[in-house]
Amino acid sequence: MKVLKIAFIALVLVSGMYAKGSDPLTIYAALDEKTSKELAAAFTQATGIPVEIALQIEEAGTIAARIKAESAHARADVFIGGNSNFHADLASGNYLDKYVSPVIKEAKIETRFMDPDGYWTGWYLGALCFVYNNKMYEQTFKPMGLKPPATWDDLLNPAYKGLVIGSNPATTGGAYLMECAQIFRLGSEKAGFDYIRQLDKNVAQYTKGANGCIPLVAQGEAYVGFAWGHDSLKQKEQGNLPITVVFPKDTGFEIGCASVLKGAPNLDAARKFIDFLLSPAAEQINARNGYRYPVRTGVTMPAGVPPFEDLKLAPWDLKAASANVDAWKKQWAEITGK
C-alpha cells in the first residue's frame, strides 16, 4: 500500500511538471470558436498538457496555406478541422507527420474514415443538404404544383432561375465536394460538369463560405441553396429560422480531419491530442456544439439530427476527389466565370 501511495504521488508530480514546465501544445483549428476552446480545455484537464489555439478560423484553406508558408520552422503542432482533401494535399507535399492512433482499433472505428497512408485522422463527418424558404414555398411554388426540392436535379427547374444560392469551390471545401458529388453520382466528369453548367443558369450568386446561403434563404433573398447539414440544422434550431433542411439522395459528404504537422515542436503531445479527439468526451463536445457526426459509436447527437446511417450518400472516390482538386476547380471556374 505504501509503495502504491508513493507511485501515485510521483505520477501527480510528473503530471504537474509536464503542465508547468513544457511549452503548450499549439493548435490551428478550422472549427467554430466554442468547440475549439472546449476541446482544448478538456484535453488539458485530462492530461495536464497546456494548449494554445494560435489560429482559429473556419476556413481550412487559409490554415493549410499558412502551414505551407511556415513549413521550414513549424509553429504549430496539430491542424484540426477541414475535410480530407486539405489534409491529403498537405500530406502529399510532405507537410505532415505520419501517425496512426491506437484508439482507432481499440474503439473499433471504421478505417474507411482514416487515411490509408496514416497521415490524417478522420474524427467527424458532415453531409451536404438543401435549405429552402418555407414562406416562399407556400406562397409561390406550392400553388404552382411543385414539391419542395428533394434531389440535386430539382435545383435545375427553370422556375428557380435566379433563386438558387451556391458557394464557390475556389474558397470553400463544401462547394468543391458538392461538385464532386455531381461527378460521382452521374458517373463521369462530363456529366458532372454538364450539371454544373445547367445549375449556373439558376444561381443568383456564389458565396465565399459553404454556408453563405443559410441567412440569405432565411431572409427570403433566395428560395433554395446548398450548405453543410450540421451548420444548417444548428442555425435553424438556434436562430428559429423559417427554413427546411433536406438531405438529398446522392449527397456529398466530408471526413473532418486532424493531423500532426511535420516538425511539430511538441510531437508527443500532438499525438496525444489526436488520441483525445477520438475519445467519447471529445466526440461529444464536437457533436453538441457543432452538430457534427462522430466517427465512433455511442455519442448522442442533438435532437432533430438524422442518423448518419440514414443518409443516402453519393458513391465516393476519396482518391479521385483528392487528386483532381485543381483541375476540377479550374473547370468549374471556366463554366461559371467565377
Greatest C-alpha distance within the chain: 82
Q: What pLDDT is stored for residue 209 in this prediction? A: 87
Three state DSSP letters for 159-222: HHCCCEEEECCCCCHHHHHHHHHHHHHHCCHHHHHHHHHHHHCCEEEEECCCCCHHHHHHCCCC
Residues 6+ apart with CB under 8 A from 205: 165, 166
Q: What pLDDT is stored for residue 327 in this prediction? A: 96
DSSP state of 151: S
DSSP state of 97: E
For residue 262, which of 125, 75, 151, 97 has the smallest C-alpha distance? 97
Q: Where in the chain is the domain with CATH 3.40.190.10?
A: 2-125+254-305, 127-252+313-336
**Residue in this structure with the C-alpha cell 461529444, named with its chain if needed:** 284
CB 258 within 8 A of CB 277: yes
Q: What pLDDT is stored for residue 18 in this prediction? A: 45
Query: Which CATH class name applies to 127-252+313-336?
Result: alpha beta
For residue 265, which of 76, 87, 98 has the smallest C-alpha distance? 76
The CATH label, of 3.40.190.10, 3.40.225.10, 2.60.120.260, 1.10.10.60, for the domain at 2-125+254-305 is: 3.40.190.10
Q: What pLDDT is stored for residue 59 in this prediction? A: 83
What does each of the 338 residues of the chain score in pLDDT, given as a tens digit? 333 333 333 333 334 434 444 689 999 999 999 999 999 999 999 999 999 999 999 888 889 999 999 999 999 999 999 999 999 999 999 999 999 999 999 999 999 999 999 999 999 999 999 999 999 999 999 999 999 999 999 999 999 999 999 999 988 889 999 999 999 999 999 999 999 999 999 999 999 888 999 999 999 999 999 999 999 999 999 999 999 999 999 999 999 999 999 999 999 999 999 999 999 999 999 999 999 999 999 999 999 999 999 999 999 999 999 999 999 999 999 999 98
Q: What pLDDT is stored for residue 50 in this prediction? A: 97
Q: What pLDDT is stored for residue 12 in this prediction? A: 36
Q: Within 10 A of 316 (CB to CB), how many other CB atoms are there?
A: 17
pTM above 0.85, yes or no: yes
For residue 291, which of 303, 276, 279 has the smallest C-alpha distance? 303
Which pairing describes strands 78-83 and 25-30: parallel, antiparallel, or unpaired?
A: parallel
Q: What pLDDT is stored for residue 171 in this prediction? A: 83
Beta bridge partner(s), residue 80: 29, 258
